[in-house]
Amino acid sequence: MTREITEVKIVVCRHPEKDGDKITAHGAKQCFAAALALAEKGLKPELLLYSGAVRTNQAARVMAAAMQVFDLEPEEDRGFHFEKCFKQTLNNDMDAFKAEMEKIKQAGGTMTRAVEISKYAREGLAQVSSAILDLANKMASRGKKVVLVVSHSPWAEFATIDPDAMPYGLGEADAVVYTVEADLGEIVDSELIKAPQV
């Protein structure tokens, strides 16, 4: 007997340019353009999530408008926010984080190097992977195939299946599309989609 596989696409997008915890006018243009590019690839969401930060909620709303999914209200999902991991691994120390980022950049700047060097990256990988798999199960049980999550970087890229090719640190409004076989509980593909320049 062949088992039916339920494939779900989870698009995790980094928020655009910000000022504090709010997106800028330029940031709104960035995420609007990114949303149009995602829609052209058939990635129009049936569910819209944000990490809990104001800037991710704002970006999610702009992206929904760009994709003309006016019936979707952004829902908060803290699994896509880095704050707990940042506190536990780096004690909220931004200087330590910047030093770690520089060390990873000097070592090649990929997710592979980040996981070798950084406890934050290792813990984040576990959290993001778990959040993606949990979300895929929820999506499959609701009969939905595509979800858009607006999150952060370095964070959105952590669950990549090709860590040698994935940069540690995405550009503003860049996205990673995760393909998940929900019935198997497995991420089977990940693709970096760069935001169009505006």
Q: 2 pLDDT exceeds 90?
A: no
User: Percent of the chain, pLDDT > 70?
Assistant: 97
84-115 residues labelled b (16+ CB within 10 A) or e (exposed): ebbeebbeeeeeebeebbeebeeeeebbbbbb
- Map out the domains of the chain as residue ranges: 7-193
Enter the pTM of the model. 0.95
| Range 7-193: architecture per CATH | 3-Layer(aba) Sandwich (3.40)
Reduced to 3 states (helix: H, G, I; strand: E, B; else coil), residue 98 is helix
Supply the pLDDT for residue 5.
61
User: Within 13 Å of residue 35, how many CA atoms lie on the same side as its CB?
Assistant: 26
Helices (H), the chain: 25-40, 54-66, 83-90, 94-106, 111-117, 119-141
Per-residue pLDDT, averaged over 12-19, amounts to: 98
Stated length of the chain: 198
Q: 63 pLDDT exceeds 60?
A: yes
Q: pLDDT digit string (tens) for 73-128? A: 999 999 999 999 999 999 999 999 999 999 999 999 999 999 999 999 999 999 99
Supply the pLDDT for residue 6.
86
User: Percent of the chain, pLDDT > 90?
Assistant: 93
